[in-house]
Chains A and B, each alone.
Chain A
Amino acid sequence: MGADLILLTILALPLLGALINGTLGKNMPKVIVGSIATGVMFTAFGLALTLFGSVHKQQLVHLFSMISMDGFELNARLQLDSLSIWMTLIVTGVGSLIHLFSMGYMSHDKGYYKFFTYLNLFIFAMLILVLGSNYFMLFFGWEGVGICSYLLISFHYSDAQKGIANSVAARKAFIMNRIGDLGLLIGLFLILSQFGTLEYSELADKLFIDKIEPSTWMMFGITACLFIGATGKSAQIPLFTWLPDAMAGPTPVSALIHAATMVTAGIFLVVRSNFFFELAPTTQDIMLYVGLATSMVAAFMALRQNDIKKVLAYSTVSQLGLLFVALGMGAYTAAMFHVTTHAFFKALLFLGSGSVIHAMSDEQDIRVMGGLKKYIPITHITFLIGTLAIAGFPLLSGFYSKDEILAHAVMHNPLIYGLLMVSVAMTAIYMFRLYFLVFHGNFRGTSEQQHHLHESPLNMTLPLMILAVLSVFGGILNLPGVVMNSGTHWMSHYLEHNTRGLELIKTHHLSSSQSMMLMGAAVVMTLVILFVSFVVYVKNARLAKSDEELKGWELASNKKLYFDEVYNFLFVKPLEWMSVKIHAFVEVLALNKSVYGFAGLIGKTGDIVRKWQTGVVSNYLFWMVLGVISLVVYYLIKF
């Protein structure tokens, strides 16, 4: 099979799975439904692996031309290069494991076939997003994953208690994303009007070979619009509040869509568009500061959340912020590296939390957990690995990928490095808090819950174990020179040749001693936080406070700095108010009443005119004569 055929198969498989399960799944046994959905994923992943080594230069697979007009052409076309195949591997690889996990997690759910249909459909849309060769295809995938996200967040829409809340969360996610999408769409129009094409390779050619130099404003406009799109999908300030609410979806959905893949689409978009961003330093700076602010704000919010999934959700927002900081500094490979390791350990943490929730009979509040390590040992160990990885514990994957970004930050601006370290410290604090409160101490739930505590079946724990291994060793993908004496960043080289823009990457040039010092600082910080957390939550057995006890900064963190309330006050309420008032005053009063008033006026005129029609001939004659005389007089005066 040629590479193009393999690529098409990878794309077609999840669609096929969705079609089979969507049409026939209702009447098939759950085992078969789940096996089909999971099977296509593993096959797609295997096929993607075969392409991994053979992408030294980019290859285009033209499918058909969707719109071909005089000025422009929009194609359904795929692009095979190291970046697209890298993303494909993450999507299908982590996706396969999450599908496998879902077979166990969703086994009691009535909508089993629907769940897997949506999940496969999501993978299809995500693959379109990463494999497309132009922004038009990207937009198709971009909105496609948004729809799947909507369907999966609102999956339990008829639930007696949470049904409404779930569907409201889904709607919020879709609408906030749509705001970002509008920005992206305008970015597309800008690109189209300036360059006449949306193909990545043609755009890069025009910029780097034909040396077209658009105005600084144009480049700023294009990149700013693309970045607005990215803030929606990747949950950055100001469009981030949908992501924590999106946790209403089943936990595997949170792992797949709202942690490992979809939310990194914004990162992918910027990396893909590096040829634009490199020419727009202003946008890069904006991106850096927005990312930094998001990273810190979200980490702060995570400190006092008590819902296990909410903690992880804010953690995701915070990590995405970190990624945008990297992108703002032009550290594309570092960002992709962290996207990869983050996909491993965040998927692991979410699936682990799913296993915890499963064991706790659908309880998500960490205040009623505790001491779970002896009941669910595999989940405990893997969750611990995930926690250490995200906290930046030495030698685990998160340590290396975070270190890369921090190293770039030192070179860029020490202040940013300092603030990032604060964010990193908060990450360690809330993660260890979460870990100790869930797995250590005494069990605080009901005795019924305690009675039901059980380790998850193998199809759930196996993905946990695989992801744990990846979270430990994922750092190997891009070991920094200081660790390996050969001194090469393997991943940088792999991604380097896929687009021209990436050659512009400013690799950081820290000496080994500087590197070692940075790492040392991070290690010491993490270990100190680990120790303090252990003392606080295990030795002193401090518990999370109830809602009433919270005050000061803890309350602010718990209430998410009142972002939702402020948005409600600033945007939602005024819009609803306008809707009601415009209808009442403009539509009903001004337009309708005036029309009826006008009709009434005509009616009145009719009444008056009718009085003239007396039916008496002499009256008519009188008016006629008067008219003739008037005319005669008029003409006499005129001449």
Chain B
Amino acid sequence: MELFAIPLVFALIALVAPKSKVNYVGLIGAVVSMVVSFIHVANFSPDQYVSVFAPDFILTFGLTFKMGYDGIGLFMVVLTNVVTTLILLSNLNREIAHNRAFNALVMLMQFGLLGVFTAADGIMFYIFWELTLVPIFLISYWFGSADRKKPLMKFFIYTFVGSLAMLLSLMALGTYSRSFAYEDLLAAQLTAKTAFWVMAGFFLAFAIKIPLFPFHTWQPDTYTVSPMAGTMLLSALMLKMALYGMVRWMIPIAPEAMDALSCMVITLGMIGVVYAAVIAIKQSDIKRLFAFASISHVGLIAAGIMLFNKDALAGAFIQIANHSLVALGLFLAADILERRMGTRNIYDMGGVAKLAPKFGFWFAAVAFASVSVPLTSGFIGEFLLIKGLYNYSWIVGLVAGTTLVLGAVYTLRAYQISMFGAPKMEAFSDLTWNEMLTFFIIMLIILVVGIYPQAIIDFVGPSLDLTIESVKGSKVIVQ
């Protein structure tokens, strides 16, 4: 329970703390949460299921309040807490971090995410899923750029429509089940047609949140107008709820519909990989460029998940972590450039690497991680995903592989135009200590996972095995 209590307590403290110190309240809260989740990891063996909350009663309409985690859940919990810490760390010296509401909202967001990743009841999942929308919307609305209103409205409507579809699916599923508890939902026997609509509802919600082509048009605008912390929360954490949701909810509860939907989702994922990468090539707004890059990368993950075999799923989870870290790094770099040069247009930048060598180095490191070079976690993730897609169909594998080439094209182009050449300005203040520490931690994790990915595979492996078995129709219950 302390996992959930800590963010809430710190959110309350943040609301009353003095403005000059409130930035540390948020950071300490995140660090404490992170350490606690590490303790959970230390006491956890990967084939275990840990129940966090399991009351004896069921509400009349089937709500059980069950919460708990297995390997996948705990993995996402740790990711949430590490990423939240890094977001607050990178913002530490900025104006936004001295705002009470901001810190409280980030903590609330963290609370909601932890709920999403530990929910073992459909309704609980839905409640937490919706809960996260409130803080992220307010962060972007209160702290975003001047032209934020229209894009945020679009974002809100899009995700809300998706959520409604998911709610309908859950309700429909509930009529076939004793309660909304995860194991009961798994046990529900659906006809192929019902399963199709149930899965389609979930899919719409997830496809919008990820976002998958063609449900993505809210994303570049929203990423661009949100403050850095908002963009980071959206890309590094919020969309991971959807990828996690595909593995935990969408596929296991309606596996009967896999045959009908997997081909379509993989196709959409592949279109997204190429489509967004091609668009990213000629973008001049650095935030938009990275937003499209993100669409391209997550399309690959979503397609890999639909294969639902262990190699691809392990690759998907490694890539989920990798994408979170890379997105943090890239949007931090974009924000540093924007703040210190007053523009997001890369053609107005140039020569920064000479003036700010530390920034030049760390930005380059993250850029190469984004290009998924060997020794980084991105390489392992993409290797496993593309290998899986290749085994599915060689054409799909080839299309997925173009991300290696196109990714290099747009990333290196953005880096080169903004950082290389003769300096276009007098001075550019180099990284502050907290920015540097953020980059350092990001790269450290990326390299450790890239060199020894087996650690993650062993951690999520047993849960993946169980999930895959349950989907294979044997109806083995994950708990």
Give every chain A residue within 8 A of B421 (Cβ-Cβ): 157-158, 163-164, 167
Question: In the complex, what residue of chain A is closest to B423 when comparing beta carbons?
Answer: A158
Point out the residues of chain B lying under 8 angstroms from A289, CB to CB.
none
Which residues of B sit under 8 angstroms from A578, Cβ to Cβ?
A: 278
The secondary-structure label for the interface of chain A is helix
A575/B412 contact (C-beta < 8 A), A157-B420, A595-B217 known: no
**B390 and A69 contact, CB distance less than 8 A:** no
Query: Is there a chain A Cβ closer than 8 Å to B98's Cβ?
Result: no
Cβ of A503 within 8 Å of any chain B Cβ, yes or no, is no
Residues of A at the B interface (CB closer than 8 Å) are 64-71, 139-140, 143-144, 146-147, 150, 154, 157-160, 163-164, 166-168, 170-171, 174-175, 178-179, 181-182, 185-186, 189, 192-193, 575-576, 578-580, 582-583, 586-587, 591-592, 595, 599
Asked if residues A576 and B386 are in contact (CB atoms below 8 Å), the reply is no
- Chain B residues with Cβ below 8 Å from A71 are 311
Instruction: Report whether A587 and B416 are in contact in the complex, using a CB–CB cutoff of 8 Å.
Output: no
| Known contacts A70-B310, A182-B402, A587-B217; A582/B278 CB under 8 A | yes
Pick from B368, B391, B398, B422: contact of A160, CB under 8 Å: B422
Do A147 and B368 touch (CB < 8 A)?
yes
- Check if A189 sits within 8 Å of B374, measured CB to CB: no
On whether A582 and B279 interact (CB within 8 A), knowing A175-B405, A193-B391, the answer reads yes
- Docked Cα-Cα span, A591 to B221, in Å, equals 13
Q: How far is the CA of A506 from the CA of B187 in the complex (A)?
A: 65
> Which residues 310-328 of B sit at the A interface, judged by CB distance below 8 A?
310-311, 314
The residues of B with any CB-CB pair to A shorter than 8 Å are: 154, 157, 214, 217, 275, 278-283, 310-311, 314, 351, 353-354, 368, 373-375, 379-380, 383-384, 386-387, 390-391, 394, 397-398, 401-402, 404-405, 408-409, 412-413, 416, 419-423, 451-454, 457
Query: CB distance B214 to A179 under 8 Å?
Result: no
B373 x A147 contact (CB < 8 A): yes
What B residues does A178 contact at CB under 8 A?
404-405, 408
Of A70, A154, A175, A178, most B-chain CB atoms within 10 Å: A178
| Neighbouring B residues of A67 by C-beta, 8 Å | 380, 384, 453-454, 457
Please determine whether B408 and A595 come into contact, CB atoms closer than 8 angstroms.
Answer: no
Residues of A within 8 A of B419 (CB): 157
Taking the closest CB of chain A, its distance from the CB of B356, in whole angstroms, is: 11
Give the CA-CA distance A64 to B451 in the complex, in Å.
10
A71 CA / B217 CA spacing, docked (Å): 39
* A189 CA / B278 CA spacing, docked (Å): 25
Query: Which residues from chain B contact A170 at a C-beta distance below 8 Å?
Result: 416
- Could you give 9 example pairs across A and B, Cβ below 8 Å? A67-B384, A71-B311, A144-B375, A150-B412, A154-B420, A160-B422, A166-B420, A167-B416, A592-B217
Partner of A179, one of B390, B405, B457: B405
- Kindly provide the distance from the CB of A69 to the nearest chain B CB, expressed in whole angstroms: 6
| Complex: chain A residue closest to B402, CB-CB | A182
Q: A147 to B367: give the CA distance in the assembly, Å.
A: 11
State which of A168, A182, A591, A595 has its C-beta within 8 Å of the C-beta of B416: A168
Contact status B420-A164, CB under 8 Å: yes
Query: Across the interface, do A143 and B374 meet the contact criterion of CB distance under 8 Å?
Result: yes
For residue B150, which residue of chain A has the nearest CB? A596
Q: Chain B's nearest CB lies how many Å from the CB of A142?
A: 8
CA distance A157 to B422 in the complex (A): 8
Q: Is the CB of A69 within 8 A of B412?
A: no
6 other A-B residue contacts (CB within 8 Å) besides A69-B457, A182-B401, A576-B281: A67-B384, A69-B311, A69-B314, A171-B413, A175-B409, A178-B408
Q: Are B420 and A591 in contact (CB under 8 A)?
A: no
Contacts of A582 in B (CB 8 A): 275, 278-279
A605 to chain B, nearest CB (A): 15
Indicate if the CB atoms of B282 and A576 lie closer than 8 Å: yes
Which listed residue, B214, B278, B282, B453, touches A66 by the CB 8 Å rule?
A: B453
B125 to chain A, nearest CB (A): 27
Of B281, B398, B420, which contacts A158 at CB under 8 A? Answer: B420
Distance in angstroms from B459 CB to nearest chain A CB is 13
Residue of B nearest to A181 (CB): B404
Contacts of B282 on A, CB cut-off 8 Å? Answer: 576, 579-580, 583
A residues near B397, Cβ cutoff 8 Å: 186, 189
Contact yes or no, B375 A175, CB < 8 A: no
* A174 close to B412 (CB less than 8 A): yes
Q: Is the CB of A66 within 8 A of B405?
A: no
Instruction: Say yes or no: A64 contacts B405, CB within 8 Å.
Output: no
A147 to B412, CA, bound (A): 11
B contacts with A: majority SS: helix
Chain B nearest CB, measured from A615 CB (Å): 28
Assess the A182–B405 pair: CB atoms within 8 A.
yes
CA distance A185 to B154 in the complex (A): 40
Q: With A143-B373, A182-B404, A576-B281 in contact, is A158–B386 under 8 Å at CB?
A: no
Measured CA separation A170–B412 after assembly (Å): 10
Residue of B nearest to A137 (CB): B374
Measured in the bound complex, the distance between the Cα atoms of B374 and A178 in whole Å is: 12
Which residue from chain B places its CB closest to the CB of A590 in the assembled complex?
B214
Chain A residues, CB < 8 A from B380: 66-67
B413 — nearest CB in chain A belongs to which residue?
A: A171
Query: Which A residues are CB-close (under 8 A) to B451?
Result: 66
Complex: how many Å from CA A332 to CA B217?
54
Report chain B residues within 8 Å CB of A182. 401-402, 404-405
- A69 cross-chain contacts in B, Cβ below 8 A: 310-311, 314, 457
**Docked pose: A264 CA to B354 CA in angstroms:** 33
Min CB–CB distance B115 → chain A (angstroms): 30
Instruction: Identify the closest chain A residue to B354 (Cβ).
Output: A158
For B374, B391, B405, B419, which residue has the most chain A Cβ atoms within 10 angstroms?
B374
Check A159–B422 contact: CB distance below 8 A. yes
Interface pair A189/B387, CB less than 8 Å apart: yes
Chain B residues lying within 8 Å of A171, measured Cβ to Cβ, are 412-413, 416
Are A186 and B401 touching (Cβ within 8 A)? yes
A592 and B351 alpha carbons, distance in the complex (Å): 35
With most chain B CB atoms within 10 A of its CB, the pick from A185, A580, A586 is: A185
B452's partner among A64, A158, A159, A189 (CB-CB below 8 A) is A64
In angstroms, how far is the closest chain B Cβ from the Cβ of A622?
33
How close is B379's CB to chain A, nearest CB, in angstroms?
8
Q: Which residues of chain B come closer than 8 Å to A140, judged between CB atoms?
A: 374-375
Q: What residues of A have a CB within 8 angstroms of the CB of B405 in the complex?
A: 175, 178-179, 182
Q: How far is the CB of A473 from chain B (nearest CB, A)?
A: 38
Please measure, in the bound complex, the distance between the C-alpha atom of A70 and the C-alpha atom of B464, giving whole angstroms: 13
Q: Which residues from chain B contact A65 at a C-beta distance below 8 Å?
A: 454
Measured CB to CB, the nearest residue on chain B to A583 is B279
**A70-B310, A579-B278, A582-B275 known; A595 and B390 CB under 8 Å?**
no
- Report chain B residues within 8 Å CB of A168: 416
Q: In the bound complex, do residue B374 and residue A144 qualify as a contact, i.e. CB atoms below 8 Å apart?
A: yes
Chain A proximity of B364: nearest CB distance (Å): 8
Chain A residue with Cβ nearest B384: A67
Q: Which residues of B contact A179 (CB under 8 A)?
A: 405
Contact in complex: B279, A579 (CB < 8 Å)? yes
B281 touches A575 (CB 8 A): yes
Interchain CA distance A583-B278 in the complex, whole Å: 9
- A589 vs B311: C-alpha distance when bound (angstroms): 39
Contact residues in A for B351 (Cβ distance below 8 Å): 158, 163
CB distance from A196 to the nearest CB of B (A): 12
Contact B422 A163 (CB under 8 A): yes
- Give CA–CA (A164, B424) in the complex, Å: 13
Residues of chain A with a CB closer than 8 A to B217's CB: 587, 591-592, 595
Q: How far is the CA of A140 from the CA of B368 in the complex (A)?
A: 14
- Top 8 nearest A-B pairs (CB, nearest first) are A158-B354, A579-B282, A167-B420, A157-B420, A140-B374, A579-B281, A189-B390, A167-B416
- CB < 8 Å: which of B214, B387, B453 contacts A591? B214
Interchain nearest-CB distance for A575 vs B (Å) = 7
**B390 to chain A: which residues have CB within 8 Å?**
186, 189, 193
| CA of A35 to CA of B427, assembled, Å | 34
**In whole Å, how far is B265's beta carbon from the nearest beta carbon of chain A?**
18
Inter-chain contacts of B420 with A (CB < 8 A): 154, 157-158, 163-164, 166-167
On whether the beta carbons of B386 and A185 are closer than 8 Å, the reply is: yes
A104 to B310, CA, bound (A): 54
